[in-house]
Structure 1
Amino acid sequence: MARINTLLRGIRRYLNRSHWLTRLFRLPVSEGPASRPGVVLIQVDGLSEPQLRQALKKGEMPFLRRLLRREQYRLHSQYSGLPAATPAAQAELFYGVKTAVPAFSFRDQESGKIIRMYEPDAASRVESRLRQSGNAALLAGGSAYADNFTGGAAEAHFCPASLGWGPALRTANPLALLVFLISNFYSFLRIGVLLGLELLLALMDFMRGISHGHDFIKELKFIPARVAISILLRELCVIGGKIDINRGLPIIHINFLGYDEQAHRRGPDSLFAHWTLKGIDDAIARLWRATRHAPRRRYQVWVYSDHGQHAALPYKYLQEGGIETAVAEVFSRLQSVSTRSRATSPNGIQTQRVRLLGGHRFQRLFAVAGLAAEPEGEETAQVAALGPVGQVYAPDKLDIDQRRQVARDLARRHQVPVTLIAEDSQRIHAWTATAEFTLPGQAAELFGADHPFLGELEQDLISLCRHPDAGDVILLGWHQGATPITFATEGGSHAGATPDETHCFSLLPRDAPLPARSRDYIRLDDLRTAVLQRLGQTQHSP
């Protein structure tokens, strides 16, 4: 029976299209015993644990439900850290560095420019600092798909630092590409059918958006972006992931962006956002089945999310002119400080991540909107606010009383839910419309004693305010009892402190070697430790 089993495995391997594509593209393989452990780590971007449970209950993710019921998997509550955004989450997972960035958009102190983390230069600059931490890069020797950082992966695809396919496919000869297309005919036929269906749904959603008064041009641009991210990018990642499984790479990380993209536009509990979960569930199932027949490693599939989302009200509906107008009015009350301000584009990240697919046409169609030119000879306050966390940078150094005045006025006169300043190395001071708070010590009064991650949330918020790239005043879009707001134009938002934004999940085999802990939830550095232990690696670089 053992010989027959070996023979059948050999025949299956010989007929496997991933095996032939590996040879055709001359991709390196990881040689060694087939008993070596491997991990396929799948990120469902932006899906909170409450939304996952809702999807499981409604039957939207039947394969994940099967993992829980029949395959000895366990669902773990997970805290995202702050800011509750992909760059910070992946920095903690890939490099063991918490609060690596103060927000999704901020002013880099080295260059003096406001950056956004979907920009290739910004992502590369931050990751270069992460490599200096001395911690092991989690994806070393492996591959990364649609990630903010490469994580030290030997091959990165559809990442800001490596747009489009990696070099092996970009430089392949025409014959190899033809065989690639033919051998994946069913997959590309599937992509075509799904693209048509998704395009029809996108057009229906477009008409619905226009009828609700949304901007015509933005809605029109969202159609190809939605189709490309929800279908095309997902399917290309699955094809690449299956090839890497056949090659025996030690770790493969794939980020599925479709749910997060739709949730930003229509809200995390919208029908259109949850529609994408069906396709993501099927993609996970296909990758899991590929690992069952992997010839070079004994893989486990681990599924997790980096953060959640919360339905949010755009701040521009509370303050005409948006947050930059509010900041300009506040600074106009300060003597010797410019009355002007400039801000990042408030449109959110929708339509920008489609640029990960690479290609000149995508880059032209979805070009990143530049900042308005700074008036010549005039200093200006700067605002970086691309979500529910914002950073305000004064043109000149402010004394403590001036910083307090700016923070207090933004909270009390301009309806910013929470404003914060780092008063010294020990304390953070916060304002709402009606009260003042000091951290550490009053997080329960500010965020509610029932917040599931209150202790670590307080520490992470203090670290965020003390980050070298943080602003003179930090803006936060929520406190206990307040309606969550976002400084971008979006229906769903994340990076802030609400329970939904910070409550993510990990779906792991029961024997996953999670470290011992006193709390009833895990965070991403616990997941990192478990992955390294399974792969037989250490926390620090060799």
Structure 2
Amino acid sequence: MTGRWRSIGGAVLRVLAVWAVSSLTLLVLAVVLPDFRLQSPGGDSLTRTALTAVLGAGAFGLLGALVWPLLVRAFLLVPALVLGLLVFFLNGSLLLVALGLLPEGRGQVAPETAVIVAAVMSATSSATSAFLAVRNDEAYRRRLVRLAGRRARRAGATAPRTPGTLFLQLDGVGHDLLRDATEGERPLMPTVARWRADGHRLTPWHTDWSSQTGASQLGILHGTNHDLPAFRWYEKETGHTLVSNRPTGAAELQRRAVARTGHPGLLADDGASRGNLFTGGADQVALVMSVAARRGRDTRSRAGYFAYFSDPANATRTAVSFVAELFRETGQALRGRLRRETPRVGRGGLYPVLRASATVVERDVVVAAIVGDLLAGRTTVYADLVAYDEVAHHSGPRHRDTHQVLRSLDRAVALLAKAARHAPRPYRIVLLSDHGQSPGETFLERYGLSLADLVRAGCGLPVPRRVRRTRSGAEARESARAALHRPEDTDGHTTSQPVVLASGNLGLVSFPDMPGRVTREELDRRNPALLGTLANHPGIGFLLVRSAAHGAVVLGPAGAEHHLDTGRIIGADPLAPFGPGAADAVRRTDGFPHVADIMVNSAYDPATGEVHAFEEQIGSHGGLGGDQSRPFLLAPAALSPPVPADAPPLTGAAEVHHVLRRWLREAAESDGTPARTPVTDEA
């Protein structure tokens, strides 16, 4: 009883403190801003003015607590990210209503000034509340305990003793990058560094040839990524390009995977999918691309946004951080230009907004959804944090711009570990990535022409004088478009022109007017200079074509060939620089029904780890070469090793799926002893 009264007293004191700060802020703004006053037309005493400020702050706070959730519900048809950007204007409207309730017209403010006043008040009240509770470890832990206690009481005696599992994907963070970020006296990721020191097992794994989120996550969540040759590819039977991170593309890929495996996915048993491309069979989904195209009241893909923004403190804090990230990106881009850093790509247009969406909005919403899942005691959660991947595409995988992102990811990991300690069941937290990133100048920047123009030249077609840059295919881009309800781009192609698509440093060339997969012999008859032009270009490492006489053939410079069906090699092996698993990866892709007529992998320098992306990325992934093909698994020591010590390395996303399923079986058979996840007060 004493503890309950102490808790109630602490809550009352925090409310009074926030009210006092808000009142003081209102007084200061009334003095500073010319279009805002808290006095009657004839003037008032300082005491009367202060009382008016107290009443105004109280009315504004009360409206925020009572009306804000209703506003969010009323804006269910508004795109979610637009709602995030409208936070300030909605707050301004509430302030106008609050001031209108003051007696004798003492609260007068211009509408444009109301937006400023409301934003400052919300920011100060949110900061005060955070200082008193959220940012205070003990207060925050008590809050989690209370929430977890309420949920545990709902569950009663049926709360499971077996451990739950959280799979947290750090998009684009390669094995070597994570290793380096967790070593040294002052690691970039101190929480993860402590986990490694405490015995967590760091294991690399090798992606398939298509080293990108669509292929990796489909394989991890659904157990297969068969017939997914790249980030985007052309399907001749329909005449359309399928893109793995668009709502319609993701939904189709998930449908095909479920049909192939006959199983709904990794998360089918009381699972939750947060911020992913695919559901994994989960009933609880938020910010999942494969269901983002659904409409109506049952559309749960956007539920996470509205659940998060229904708290005005969350909305204000995220909106302020969003604006701060816009300024950070502008400053970092300007610094790069002034220092003439190379390589460098354009970072204007909508990119600053997309970066802020990935590093702030999506991060905050996904983390909040995971905390709810942990406190609800869900059996399995799989979530993706895309912040690093988006920034590294445009700044480079190891550029200093990414350091702040890695630190923020580490703080998110620490927060989730704290929440897990107060969940109604023990949790095992597994960190993993879907791919890494490889650095290097873009193909266009290095050689002055795009892959599409090189293909046109090899076909004897005219090449435009002005090169059109290839748009970046970063994963976060389509997530933002889906949240904004922007229509998907249509990829129209004429049947008389070759279709050239890019997936990082992997290129795909298809000929729509030639049915089926075009053989090497047919290509040589129709365009005798094409294959030689491509294979001998210094920016291209190898080509994959299908020969009527020899089957799958890899072509390299100076007439080099690797016949994959027989193992015959002519000249220097074109696949040698890409490692011992390259032949198996390319051979597997050759068997896909929708493999392109010509698959093109850029050159790779083993000494520097550099590749050349065929799109506008200086940190890229999608093909073979360097760190992009080496993601990681970081798991508690209580879980079995991903592979035995004497076994070959883990290869392919489908194999990772089987490892994760094995760990889930181990958790279901466990006696409830939690795996140690060290969290210290410094985390």
Relative to the length of structure 1, the TM-score reads 0.81
Confirm or deny: 8 A CA contact 2:201 2:637 kept in the other structure: yes
1:436 aligns with 2:560: yes
Confirm or deny: 8 A CA contact 2:274 2:288 kept in the other structure: yes
Give me the whole-angstrom Cα distance separating, in 2, the residues matched to 1:304 and 1:88.
15
Give me the whole-angstrom Cα distance separating, in 2, the residues matched to 1:168 and 1:289.
27
Higher RCO (CA < 8 A, seq sep 6+): 1
Confirm or deny: 8 A CA contact 1:39 1:531 kept in the other structure: no
Give me the whole-angstrom Cα distance separating, in 2, the residues matched to 1:442 and 1:494.
29
Cα deviation per residue 1:266-294 (whole Å; 9 max; x = unaligned)? 11011112320101111111111211221
1:305 aligns with 2:433: yes
SS at match of 2:253: helix
Confirm or deny: 8 A CA contact 1:515 1:526 kept in the other structure: no
Give me the whole-angstrom Cα distance separating, in 2, the residues matched to 1:245 and 1:486.
39
Partner of 1:155: 284
Range with bigger deviation, 430-439 or 505-514: 430-439
CA RMSD of aligned residues (A): 3.7
Partner of 1:468: 593
Letter in 1 for 2:544: L
Confirm or deny: 8 A CA contact 1:148 1:159 kept in the other structure: yes
Sort the Cα spacing of 1:124 and 1:110 in 2 relative to 1 into closer, same or farther, 3 A: farther
Deviation (angstroms), 1:197? 3.6
Matching residue within 109, 119, 133 for 2:246 = 119
1:309-458 equivalences under 5 Å are 309-332=437-460, 346-350=470-474, 353-357=476-480, 362-364=484-486, 369-371=489-491, 373-374=492-493, 379-394=496-511, 395-397=513-515, 398-403=518-523, 405=528, 406-412=530-536, 415-423=539-547, 427-440=551-564, 441=567, 445-448=573-576, 451=579, 454-455=580-581, 457-458=582-583
Sort the Cα spacing of 1:221 and 1:298 in 2 relative to 1 into closer, same or farther, 3 A: same
SS at match of 1:194: helix
Give me the whole-angstrom Cα distance separating, in 1, the residues matched to 2:284 and 2:468.
32
Give me the whole-angstrom Cα distance separating, in 1, the residues matched to 2:377 and 2:362.
22
Matching residue within 295, 318, 321 for 1:191 = 318
SS at match of 1:512: coil
Relative to the length of structure 2, the TM-score reads 0.65
Range with bigger deviation, 314-323 or 115-124: 314-323
SS at match of 1:255: strand
Partner of 1:256: 385
Letter in 1 for 2:160: A
Unmatched segments (≥5 aa) in structure 1: 1-10
Sort the Cα spacing of 1:189 and 1:16 in 2 relative to 1 into closer, same or farther, 3 A: farther
Confirm or deny: 8 A CA contact 1:157 1:163 kept in the other structure: no
Cα deviation per residue 1:40-91 (whole Å; 9 max; x = unaligned)? 0001111111111221125110000111113x31111211222111111112
Deviation (angstroms), 1:163? 3.5
Partner of 1:53: 179
Confirm or deny: 8 A CA contact 1:447 1:480 kept in the other structure: no
Sort the Cα spacing of 1:80 and 1:415 in 2 relative to 1 into closer, same or farther, 3 A: closer
Give me the whole-angstrom Cα distance separating, in 1, the residues matched to 2:588 and 2:210.
10
Give me the whole-angstrom Cα distance separating, in 1, the residues matched to 2:156 and 2:615.
44
Confirm or deny: 8 A CA contact 1:91 1:100 kept in the other structure: no
Confirm or deny: 8 A CA contact 1:49 1:503 kept in the other structure: yes
Sort the Cα spacing of 1:396 and 1:528 in 2 relative to 1 into closer, same or farther, 3 A: closer
Sort the Cα spacing of 1:111 and 1:156 in 2 relative to 1 into closer, same or farther, 3 A: farther
- Based on CA coordinates, which of the two structures has the bigger radius of gyration? 2
Cα deviation per residue 1:284-315 (whole Å; 9 max; x = unaligned)? 111112112211x3220000111111112222
1:17-56 equivalences under 5 Å are 17=147, 32-56=158-182
How many residue pairs end up in the alignment? 499
Task: Determine which structure has the larger helix proportion and give its number.
Answer: 2
Partner of 1:477: 602
Sort the Cα spacing of 1:248 and 1:396 in 2 relative to 1 into closer, same or farther, 3 A: same
Confirm or deny: 8 A CA contact 2:221 2:657 kept in the other structure: yes
Partner of 1:129: 256
Give me the whole-angstrom Cα distance separating, in 1, the residues matched to 2:201 and 2:254.
32
Confirm or deny: 8 A CA contact 2:174 2:631 kept in the other structure: yes
Unmatched segments (≥5 aa) in structure 2: 1-140, 668-683
Confirm or deny: 8 A CA contact 2:503 2:622 kept in the other structure: no
Confirm or deny: 8 A CA contact 1:344 1:384 kept in the other structure: no
Confirm or deny: 8 A CA contact 1:114 1:384 kept in the other structure: no
